[in-house]
Structure 1
């Protein structure tokens, strides 16, 4: 990918769409096996066509994302490589492609969205569902840690205005029916997270354009610390299978075929806790 970043500078005149196509193999090399590279590349190319149109430095009118990609193709390609490595769809609520200004010039910043974090949790195979909701001042919310297994959240769906954002909560329901730790963050906790996110006051910041999504992501990111990651969970599954095999083998008859565990899957490297974009400029959804 080092050559990719270097060579991309020389291919600015081909446009960002063809640039993505040119480095399809680089993305294919890191994409998870269940994702079709050609489809992923088409999705990335389509994402660049969305948004406000502006005039680029070459005088050509393009979308802000296209101009940002051409201004700094290295950063653009690095963001796409990050999305590919995680197996997330760029330009969607799984993985946002957002413009930001650096020294007065637009560049692209890749940001993992809350749906992307949830997708990474599902891949671990330990959870059956994730619940993440914002609570507004007009809602009724009750949760007593140590007493209530899950929060009670009542919404007046007929209300014209549910009021101001008040809380965000998130929890997972495990495959065995158990409830994970329940995460609840109030406005003060969210403000602390927002303060640490450089560029949160930018006109392009999702803290301005999609505040509720940022609250949800903040809750889901905290939840990710309390549910199994794919690497951890699959390693434990492998260890359990091999322990069982080791117990069976000594007691099996001499004519019995040893238990073969070679077919068991290798651990993936997707670890949602390693995704830490909140500390990079600017803020993210």
Structure 2
């Protein structure tokens, strides 16, 4: 055994003498090192109930499970993670938010559970929820002076998906509900830059419910801060010190299309970053560009 180990050591020394180095780090390892380097800055953005180690670990797992994200720019990847941190949402399986590739940029998308969580933070909403509706369910609704919604899910074979609804109960006893048929959900889905990939393909029902909840936001008693947070849905940070930019900006500037929905996607102007944080982010970005990370 000693001879065998000695042989391995000799081989390693010979490789070193020949100038043979360990294989270069994989993209995942590089991203992991980058996230670790930025952990102190990410931690500053986190709410008290979230742990930076857990967030960076979940974020790295999310990136690893989508190979296309490996081709995105590093600043945009970190920017998406920072957005998740600032909003107190976890990317991945829980459905709070998603990080998906949009060209070479990582796009931050709020999920259904994330939308619900943001709405609850307003303090004026007692409860908020959404449900999908299928063709074999018992379902009826009406608007007007006496709005009413009734839904009894079928116990077996619910049939095809036909729509989704959302309900919000306010602290003062009032309520608001919205129903959206599948046809309308599909129209709004096609407006999304990520309709052919990401959560629209893996979590269709949740994205359908999110679409209804987002549409209902304009009728809810929620704070400006919550609206600004929700406005970060489907945005990209071109670099780690820039503000989130809607992926729909070009369409808005060129044609003004889909104004009803896109207006809510535009990120509100954010305040200046804490003193010293912007410099630290820029420093790390420079180190990465120079190959020091």
Q: Which bin holds the TM-score, normalised by the shorter protein?
A: 0.5 to 0.7
Name the structure 2 match of 1:25: 40
Name the structure 1 match of 2:49: 35
Name the structure 1 match of 2:287: none
Cα drift, residue 206 of structure 1: 1.9
- Residues 223 and 101 of structure 1: is their aligned pair in 2 closer, same or farther, counting only changes over 3 Å? closer
Q: Deviations over 1:220-262 (max 9, x none)?
A: 111211112234xxxxxxxxxxxxxxxxxxxxxxxxxxxxxxx
Give the Cα separation in 1 of the matches to 2:226 and 2:163: 32
192, 197, 212: which one aligns with 1:197: 192
2:211 paired with 1:213: no
Q: Any unmatched runs of 5+ in structure 2?
A: 1-25, 236-245, 249-293
2:110 paired with 1:96: no
Give the Cα separation in 2 of the matches to 1:269 and 1:212: 24
> Contact 2:136/2:159 (CA < 8 Å) preserved in 1?
yes
Name the structure 2 match of 1:145: 143
Q: Any unmatched runs of 5+ in structure 1?
A: 1-10, 52-62, 232-267
> Contact 1:48/1:66 (CA < 8 Å) preserved in 2?
no
2:198 paired with 1:184: no
Cα drift, residue 276 of structure 1: 3.5
Name the structure 2 match of 1:174: 170
Give the Cα separation in 1 of the matches to 2:231 and 2:147: 28
Name the structure 2 match of 1:73: 74
> Contact 2:62/2:91 (CA < 8 Å) preserved in 1?
no
Count of aligned pairs: 213
- Residues 65 and 191 of structure 1: is their aligned pair in 2 closer, same or farther, counting only changes over 3 Å? closer
Name the structure 2 match of 1:49: 61
> Contact 2:59/2:81 (CA < 8 Å) preserved in 1?
no
Cα drift, residue 66 of structure 1: 6.7
- Residues 113 and 156 of structure 1: is their aligned pair in 2 closer, same or farther, counting only changes over 3 Å? same
- Residues 44 and 69 of structure 1: is their aligned pair in 2 closer, same or farther, counting only changes over 3 Å? farther
2:166 paired with 1:165: no
Give the Cα separation in 1 of the matches to 2:143 and 2:102: 43
Give runs of aligned pairs for residues 112-123 of structure 1, distance below 5 A. Answer: 112-123=110-121
Cα drift, residue 119 of structure 1: 0.6
Cα drift, residue 96 of structure 1: 1.6
- Residues 81 and 50 of structure 1: is their aligned pair in 2 closer, same or farther, counting only changes over 3 Å? closer
Cα drift, residue 17 of structure 1: 2.4
Give runs of aligned pairs for residues 78-89 of structure 1, distance below 5 A. Answer: 78-89=79-90
Normalised to the residue count of structure 2, the TM-score between the two structures is 0.64
> Contact 1:121/1:127 (CA < 8 Å) preserved in 2?
yes
Give the Cα separation in 1 of the matches to 2:131 and 2:88: 24
Give the Cα separation in 2 of the matches to 1:28 and 1:127: 28
